[in-house]
Chain A
Amino acid sequence: MDFGSINPAVLIASLMVASVPIMLAALGELVAERAGVLNLGVEGMMIMGAVCGFIITIQTESAFAGFVGGALGGAVLSLFFAFLTQVLLANQVATGLALTMFGLGMSSLMGQGFNGLKPVQTPIVPLGPLADIPFFGRVLFAHDAMVYFSIAMAGLLWWVLKSTRIGLILRAVGESHEAAHALGYKVIRIRCAAIAFGGAMAGLGGAYVSLVRVPQWVDGITAGAGWIALAIVVFAAWKPWRVLIGAYLFGGITVLQLNLQVAGSWIPVEYLSMSPYLITILVLVIMSSGKGRAHNAPAALGQNFHASR
């Protein structure tokens, strides 16, 4: 195989960029699911984030404001979900699917008139001489802030879930809401917060697609990234660092397979095209099998809670 024309530094740098949207969305969904909420509306929240972020960036000419707006857009949409499932006790699966459809339609409506505009470029974080280090400079020190933010969030969530009181309460709510309720924790309130966090993260991921990855607005721009994020949460066995690995694997192989095609690899294109899905699933399944709990899902995942029961 001819790897000669593929520059590994460029490849790794592009895979880090390509992975950001699904990683952010998957981390947000992970928090919601660890709190026992199955929100299948990730795709809808992502695209709302994408359109809100885009509109705000066009209006304010600030990429930072765009990302804040994207997070808000995703969070606001997720609050609809929170209201329906946590207050009105609607079925989470059906509501989540409806949320995706609603988000797709709503974003298309809001995006009218924004087709074909170009947002301001999101700046690369200036790290001065670090960026000039051969290989590592290109790979590690020449990205925009969101790339670093996504990695930092994976670390932060791992620490919060594992070692803090907030993380413990969140997990308790997700494992047994009755027990958490008996201990005096506000199950509904905690879950609403987790849902809003998930929405904000999905919104950020969506905004990254419309502001950095594709820099434009077209209807349906996220094109299924939300579903990939959902799958990665499951295959990562609800662990943040595995989400990072899963997202990088998926993003990495997506970028690699396209590069291999350009380089004229002997591997048939069909195999290259399916490889991101196949290899990500395989690796994560292998990682989560073996010793210990293979089945790691939060015990109360998808179940609604009402204090009277």
Chain B
Amino acid sequence: MLRRTLLASAALGLGLMAATSSLAAGMDKVKACFVYIGPIGDGGWTYQHHQGALAVQAAYGDKVEIAFQENVPESADAERVLTTMALGGCNIIFTTSFGYMDATNAIAAKFPDVKFEHATGFKRDSANVSTYNARFYEGRAVQGLIAGRMTKSNKIGYIGSFPIPEVIMGINSYYLNAKAVNPAVELSVVWAFTWFDPAKEADAAKALIDQGVDVIASHTDSTAPLAEAAKTNGAVIGFGQASDMSEYKDGPRVSSIIDNWAPYYVKRVGALLDGTYEQADAWEGIAGGEVEIGEITALVPAEVKAEAEALRDAIAAGTYHPFTGPINKQDGSAWLAAGATAPDGDLLGMGFFVEGIVGDIPQ
């Protein structure tokens, strides 16, 4: 009993010391930890996050220690991993998938001295939880324009992962901007219900191709849809997702959305080091450099390329918003009036398709 009390008070004392020192004047050394949904070699989402982690290491050298765990399921396992990391001396933990949201907030409440950063979520239940995201829908708008211009069958496809606002936002933006340049365009959505399963992603792409779709965008993490499109010898094109996927540049990949997390990671770890860290809710897009549009290849005609680049620049400059009214919801009810742009709150909670998309969103 005595020993237990002793241990508890010692732990409390240590915790207090750590807390006061971190509040006072930054830290001498930060251990930054990353929780990944897939393997760092997925060539997409997780790969990009890991590039960000490596950038932190490169920026601060000895002052930073990096740790990460791959293939963490979005389940109770995530809580275990987070607890282990928090107990293992991590000062800041980046959880890099939407499904870690509840686990992140639950564990953050138990470890008030550890900073938690959750990607693509919206819950910040305690003061030590920050969220960060990128405006991927801006990149989807550019892809939509290219898809609308490039399709010959007027059928374009989208491989969705899970029916969450993040993904639905991308689908709507892709469709609206394809429709704007090609009113005849039809969109088919396939839900894969996975972030990473190359064989399933390839099957989904194959199903789309079998039914006449000739432009495929994907919201899953691997390069499998592009590999499937490559089998058609140029008949079907696609986009790099999350990472540039430049190895398919001479094939079906005509452009890409690149998630550039490095500036944010470097900034946040730096803030922790120099003591200026504060809770944040970051949502940057093309303008902030978090979303980059990968090189548009020669497969796209010059005038379409110019048009796409003009759209990208307009979004960056703030003169064009991918969701500009009038836009109706799928059921025909009004969402945005003419000229109005979508408020961030609507986007972050988006649970509906816009008018013109067929099929239901799984609930």
Contacts and interface: CB of A to CB of B under 8 A. Distances in A.
A219 B211 contact: no
Contacts of B189: 261
A95 interface: no
A255 B230 CA distance: 19
B207 interface: yes
Contacts of B359: 261, 264
B190 interface: yes
Contacts of B70: 219
Interface in A261-309: 261-264, 268-270, 273
Contact of B157 (A18, A117, A219, A262): A262
Contact of B199 (A5, A222, A264): A222
Interface residues of B, number: 43
Contacts of B200: 223, 254
A20 to B, nearest CB: 11
A217 B194 CA distance: 18
Given A223-B199, A262-B188, A214 B211 contact: no
Contacts of B198: 209, 214, 216, 218, 221, 223
B39 interface: yes
Given A5-B211, A116-B223, A220 B39 contact: yes
Interface string B160-191: 00000000000000000000000000001111
B360 A268 contact: yes
Contact of B213 (A220, A262, A264): A262
A215 interface: yes
Nearest to A213: B199
Contacts of B223: 116, 216, 218
Contacts of B343: none
Interface stretch (B20-28, B40-48, B133-141, B331-339): B40-48
Contact of A209 (B191, B199, B206, B360): B199
Interface in A50-83: none
Interface in B42-74: 42-43, 70-71
Contacts of A224: 197
Contacts of A216: 198, 223-224, 227
A140 to B, nearest CB: 18
Interface string B209-225: 01111000000001110
A259 interface: yes
A258 interface: yes
A220 B245 CA distance: 18
Interface string A107-145: 010011001111001000000000000000000000000
A196 to B, nearest CB: 25
A234 interface: no
B204 interface: yes
Contacts of B202: 213-214
B148 interface: no
Nearest to B211: A262
A223 B191 contact: no
B199 A14 contact: no
A263 B231 CA distance: 22
A94 interface: no
A14 B199 CA distance: 13
Contacts of B208: 262
Most A Cβ at <10 Å: residue of B188, B200, B208? B200
A264 B358 contact: yes
A7 B40 contact: no
B239 interface: no
Nearest to A263: B211
B39 A218 contact: yes
A6 interface: yes
A170 interface: no
Contact of A21 (B199, B222, B231): B199
A10 interface: yes
Contacts of A18: 199, 203
A225 interface: yes
B362 interface: yes
A270 B163 CA distance: 11
Contact of A6 (B190, B211, B213, B358): B211
A215 B247 contact: no
A214 to B, nearest CB: 5
B238 interface: no
Given A261-B189, A268-B360, A273-B191, A255 B207 contact: yes
Nearest to B44: A218
B39 A219 contact: yes
Interface string B234-266: 000000000001010000000000000000000
Contacts of B39: 108, 218-220
A250 to B, nearest CB: 12
B271 to A, nearest CB: 32
A270 B247 contact: no
11 contacts: A5-B212, A11-B210, A18-B199, A116-B223, A118-B247, A214-B227, A218-B223, A219-B38, A223-B199, A255-B207, A262-B208
The 8 lowest CB-CB distance pairs between A and B, nearest first, are A219-B39, A116-B247, A258-B207, A219-B41, A223-B197, A269-B362, A214-B198, A259-B207
